[in-house]
A and B are shown apart, each in its own frame.
Chain A
Amino acid sequence: MYELRNITEDQLDALKEAGNIGAGNAATALSTLLCQDIDMKVPAVRICHFNELIESIGGAELPLAAIYLRVQGDAPGNMFFLLQPAEAELFVHYITGNESFSWSNTSHDDINLSALHEMGNILAGSYLSAISDFAKVNMQPSVPQISVDMGGAILANGLIEIAEESDYTVVIDTVIALSDPNQQQHMVEGKFLLLLHPDAFGHLFRALGVEEDD
């Protein structure tokens, strides 16, 4: 197992590159599907305390729409795609063409919600398969789940296994944005968070050629 405090700048850079490739592939997949440009920001990689991570998404209480999945295999972890709830509604309207969807009147069998699920599947699948191909590590995503609730309550799910070993986590954070074709401003901004389990680092660093030989 890797001690987080021993992670070097080179190793963080390698993770950043992996995040870049993952989110880039996800943005391309989304762009192809919607026939529209998607903007992507440069990924941020950092080691932070659980409370800092929660602050970075707007605090523990701020409601977010989250697509969440677990990753198993050589590089296990948890992945979130986070949207503001109102922007997630816009996103659903955009992909389904049905503007009646809202969080207040949805149910489990709502076809609009299935569309969002599928979108989560495509985004997360393309993100993870790009990293998996690039680094030649096996990463298997679970079926995604959706929840709209307080950010702290949602993120804690991805921290449970990490918490057995640390109070800190490595966060690979990338923002992608969908613009309204008629306006210059962003319509929907989504944030990928990949929280790797400490067991993932040995495999990933070896695969990425940044293993420290101390």
Chain B
Amino acid sequence: MADSNYTPQDATPRASRLPLREICLFGALLITIVGVYAAMGAAYSTRMLVEAACYAVLALGLTIQWGYAGQFNAGVMGFVALGGVSAMLFSVPVNDAFWNSELPAELGKVLLYAIGATLLVVAATKLTRLGVPKRVRTVFAVLLAIVLYMVVISLLRDVTADIESQADFVGGLGLPPWLGWIFGGALAGVVGYFIGHVCLGLRSDYLAIATLGIAEIIKAFLKNSDWLTRGTATVSPLPWPTPGPAELGFTLSRAIYLSLTAVIIAGIFFLLHQAYHAPWGRMIRAIRDNEISSAAMGKDINKRRLEIFVLGCILMGIGGGMLASFNSLFDPNGYLPLNHTFLVLVMVILGGPGNNLGTIFGAVAVYIIWIMSEPLALYLMDLAVAFGAFAFDWQAPANIDSRALQARVLVIGVLVTLVLRFAPKGLLPERVRHHD
């Protein structure tokens, strides 16, 4: 790379100002956390903090996609779910009923058939080299793909039905969860690679549409593949990488988990910080700010975009794994666009896209608001009902509690539009360096 030899002599900040804004915001956050501890008890609050830390990893993934590169990923939920399923499959105990039967061999056979079918179709697309006309080749390849797909899918349906009836589900590998987190990150990265490969050359709207779609597809797959994930029956408990609550009690075990997540976040933060200030980070920002001029300087825009997108997806996968392990439950129905896509989006744009510190602040602050809004909304709703009954003799609908929770959807939506309108750079904006 040409610019790796370039030493930025003038790239130091003009003057190191006192980070007053950061100190104030984090101080306020600290006071809030202490307040929550005082009000809700240590076990509950530590749980909240661990979840906030897992969300911070997701938010860091989104901040490099949206803040560093201006790509909008509307399907964070899908990548989170991939991380979750991977953490589940790696850490859950081995299912002997499955492994001692004929089923693994049959499943392997179907997978081999699938690989063979893919190779055949790929070979069919190369038929033009043998002198077959292009049109004939296309028709032949499509027909072959349809027939082979039908054969493989019928075989797969038989095997998965057998697995469900004989062994419940495939079970896990009984390995430490952190292996699952890493694999989940890799899995999310691979899916992100395919999506990015298709969409990143086009306008960013297409990426938003496609990621929204892939998230719903991943959820549909996990929900309906009972042989792999037990579907709606859910899998629990997932083991922790640290000593569990049974050994140390809730508060202490959660505190240890929290320190583990804090170490992970610190590691990610350090690496991202280095990357941001490296020539690579400058290049990424240059592409975001002026695509045409960076293309004119010979940067491979689509490749860099793909790198950033895959990197963000990997972080989301890891965060999803951490979250699933901590909840000790894998429930495909629990993945909701609101909780796992839009909440993360609010964290990023409120905290400051492109500013890692701001993103972490946003993640913790928004998660606390999110968790605390539930009792608050119920309280307000009760108040409104009491007032309505008193003043207008109004009969409240019976499901008022579930409706009060819907108010959170509203709040998140209002928050998104307000922040975009009045503070588009977030509370802690990305600090643009000025060069003298």
Question: A and B bound?
Answer: no
